[in-house]
Amino acid sequence: MTFVRYKKFGNLEYAYEITAYWDKKKKKPRQKVKYLGKVINKEKKVFEKKQHRTPEKLILDFGDSYLVNKLLQDNGYYGLLSSVFEDYCDTLFALIAFRLCQNSAMRHAQAWFNGNYAKIIYKKAEMPSQRISDFLKILGEEEIQRAFFKKYLPEFSNARNGIIIDATSLPNQIHNPLTAWGRSGEEIDMQMRFLLVVDKEKSSPLFFRCLPGNIVDVSTLSNTIDELKKYGIKNTCVYADAGFFSEDNITELYKNQIDFMMRLPAGRTIFKELMETELTGLESGRNMVRYGKRGLFIKQRKISIFGGHEAYAHVVLDPQRKGRETSRLVTDVIEDKTLSDEEIDYQIQTSGIMVVISSFNLSKEEVVPAYYVRQTAEVLFGFSKDDLDILPLRVHDEQAIRGFLFLQFITLIAFTQLKKKFGKECTVEEALINMRNLKCKVYDDEILIGELTKQQKMITKNVDVIVPKTLGI
């Protein structure tokens, strides 16, 4: 029930709207009071309420965190994270926005937060360095990570068209069980390994593992597949680099009826046998294939590997790469006389050649595009290192490190979603830097958003986001 109550103060009378309601928690009747203003005409219920702007409190960076928050809400990722992290979700969202918008060390998160609209939308976020450290330890708990993957994988991907598995090194000098001497390319360094599983069709991160630096890639494939099975991802096709090729891994894939496509390491006996039989006639008109602007030669044949399993070998010669490698080889040989004539001849013959092994047959035209989907993982590693500032690692506690890499993984998912939304119009970094220049003024009762520039209008239009002129608090 709603009615108007009048109160007189001196010679003036004031009106208040009274709404009666039943308080379910306290189990008693309550009233809500709303001020209507000074009474001008009581019979006609005309009231005058002064409209005045309260003193300005804050000017904040607005556009970047507003855009990130809106896009994550629109694609459902915001809701998924809220359901998993519950009481911690404000801190999580604030850190995701910080990682995407600022690209800086975590110790600067509080300063960024104080000057950004994120402090308005994520009111419960705890951003002091010590609170972030405590939060990373929570993220490092196996239980919370499992809860995330149980919801994320079925909702955002089923990986029916294949998965890409790759790993990268994270060099560091941190003293903990994950840091160990390991090989990274041609160098040996103190490092840990970050293994990433990517959805081939969507080019989005699916799963990750944090491994000690002395664990070689070839020994991680079986356990990774076993873990994915626990989340319902099985009987899919695996795309991986030469580092994962081994008799045990190939046998395990055949045993589980999982198709695969991997590059064959040049040191393998199978590689040398194929060079003896397939080099003759490789550079022939019938083997020519166009890949983008490049011309390639590809020969294919059915082979038997590891216990008689049927597979297909695809011998690929890139003439441009052959020229570069041959030129470099000649320079190296002139300076280093240790190679025999036979070794030099073999390296010249195999320059510019790679061999891809698959458990399934496909046309010459499909070989290189199918194999190079593996580069999606490398691109995502690049985003992690260049755009999301994963290195250098500054966390020392083992559980906090696992939590930091989990935060990195969650942020990488958000990054790929934003990248797809922005398309080729602009990069994520470019869009967020431009949007950061959109400011807002915070008053006691509302937020006023500044005028959008031409570029900001273009960015928001491309991603179907409407920026309001005002917002409530």
The Cα 35–Cα 6 span in angstroms is 10
**339 phi, psi to nearest 5 deg:** -75, 140
Which helix (H) or strand (E) element contains residue 416?
helix 398-422
Kindly report the pTM of this predicted structure. Answer: 0.81
In sequence order, which ranges of 170-298 are alpha helices (DSSP H)? 221-230, 247-255, 269-278
- Return the pLDDT at 416: 92
Residue 237's closest CA among 364, 355, 353, 366? 366
- Return the pLDDT at 444: 86
Give the SS3 label for residue 189: strand
Q: Please answer whether residues 124 and 90 qualify as being in contact, where contact means their C-beta atoms are separated by less than 8 angstroms.
A: yes
Q: Where are the domains of the chain?
A: 2-48, 58-125+424-472, 260-359
- Return the pLDDT at 389: 66
Question: 204: which 2 tokens?
Answer: 């989005």
What's the Cα-to-Cα distance from 110 to each of 91, 187, 436, rounded to whole Å?
Answer: 11, 37, 17
What's the Cα-to-Cα distance from 265 to each of 45, 156, 218, rounded to whole Å?
Answer: 87, 34, 12
Q: Please answer whether residues 103 and 362 qualify as being in contact, where contact means their C-beta atoms are separated by less than 8 angstroms.
A: no
- Return the pLDDT at 24: 75
pLDDT tens digits in sequence order for the chain, 473 residues long: 788 888 887 778 888 888 888 777 777 788 888 888 888 888 878 888 765 555 556 899 999 999 999 999 988 899 999 999 999 999 999 999 999 998 788 889 999 999 999 999 999 999 998 899 999 999 999 999 999 999 999 888 767 789 999 998 888 777 777 888 787 666 777 888 999 999 998 889 999 999 998 898 899 999 999 999 999 888 789 999 999 999 999 999 999 899 999 999 999 999 999 999 999 999 999 999 999 889 999 999 999 999 899 999 999 999 999 999 999 998 888 777 778 888 889 999 999 999 999 999 999 999 999 988 888 888 887 877 776 666 666 667 889 899 999 999 999 999 999 999 998 888 999 999 999 999 999 998 899 999 999 999 999 999 999 999 999 87
> Which distant-in-sequence residues (6+ apart) come within 8 Å of 124 by Cβ?
87, 90, 91
Residue 364's closest CA among 253, 257, 287? 287
- Return the pLDDT at 425: 80
Give the SS3 label for residue 280: coil
Q: Please answer whether residues 164 and 239 qualify as being in contact, where contact means their C-beta atoms are separated by less than 8 angstroms.
A: yes
Q: Please answer whether residues 226 and 197 qualify as being in contact, where contact means their C-beta atoms are separated by less than 8 angstroms.
A: no
Question: What one-character DSSP code corresponds to residue 267?
Answer: T
- Return the pLDDT at 88: 94
- Return the pLDDT at 374: 82
Residue given tokens 């025999």 in the structure block: 340
Please report how the helices 398-422 and 129-139 are oriented relative to each other, as an axis angle in degrees rounded to 10.
Answer: 90
- Return the pLDDT at 126: 94
- Return the pLDDT at 359: 96
Which helix (H) or strand (E) element contains residue 134?
helix 129-139
